[in-house]
Structure 1
Amino acid sequence: MKEHQITIGRAELSDLAGIVQLQKANQLAAGGTLAAELAPRQIEEMMSDMPQIVARRDGKVVAFLMTTSRAVNNKRPIPVVEKTLAAYPFADPDAYIYGPICVSDTERGNGLAQLMFDTLLEEEPGRQGVLFIRGDNQPSLRAHKKMGMNKVAEFELNQALFHVFAYTAKARPRTSKPS
Structure 2
Amino acid sequence: MTKFIDIKIATIQDLDGIIELQKANQTSQGGTLSGQLTADQIQEMMIDMPQIIAVADNEIVGFLLTTSQTVNNKRKVPIVDAMSASYSGSDDSYIYGPICVSQNQRGKGLAQLMFQKLLRLEPNREGILFIKSDNEASLKAHEKMGMNKVSRFTFNDANFDVFAYLFPS
Instruction: State the alpha-carbon separation in 1 of the partners of residues 120 and 86 from structure 2.
Output: 27
Listed one character per residue, the Cα deviations across residues 145-173 of structure 1 (whole Å, up to 9, x for unaligned) are 000000000011111000000001313xx
| 8 Å contact from structure 1 (residues 124, 169) kept in 2 | no
Which residue does the alignment assign to 2:25? 26
Q: Which runs of 5+ in 1 are unaligned?
A: 172-179
1:138 to 131, 136, 147: 136
Which residue does the alignment assign to 2:49? 50
In structure 2, what residue type is equivalent to 1:5? F
Instruction: State the alpha-carbon separation in 2 of the partners of residues 141 and 106 from structure 1.
Output: 20
Which residue does the alignment assign to 1:159? 157
Which residue does the alignment assign to 2:97? 99
Listed one character per residue, the Cα deviations across residues 85-137 of structure 1 (whole Å, up to 9, x for unaligned) are 11013x11000000000000010000000000000000000000000000111
Listed one character per residue, the Cα deviations across residues 24-49 of structure 1 (whole Å, up to 9, x for unaligned) are 00001111000100000100000000
Which residue does the alignment assign to 2:73? 74
Instruction: State the alpha-carbon separation in 2 of the partners of residues 94 and 130 from structure 1.
Output: 11
Name the TM-score, length of structure 2 as normaliser.
0.98
TM-align CA RMSD: 0.8
Q: What percent of counterpart residues are identical? A: 56
Instruction: State the alpha-carbon separation in 2 of the partners of residues 154 and 116 from structure 1.
Output: 25
SS of 1:155's partner is strand
Q: How far apart are 1:21 and its partner, in Å?
A: 0.1
Q: Which runs of 5+ in 2 are unaligned?
A: none
Q: How far apart are 1:58 and its partner, in Å?
A: 1.6
Name the larger-Rg structure.
Answer: 1
In structure 2, what residue type is equivalent to 1:34? L
Which residue does the alignment assign to 1:111? 109
In structure 2, what residue type is equivalent to 1:106? N
Instruction: State the alpha-carbon separation in 2 of the partners of residues 92 and 85 from structure 1.
Output: 11
Name the TM-score, length of structure 1 as normaliser.
0.92
**Count of aligned pairs:** 169
Q: How far apart are 1:66 and its partner, in Å?
A: 0.3
SS of 1:15's partner is helix
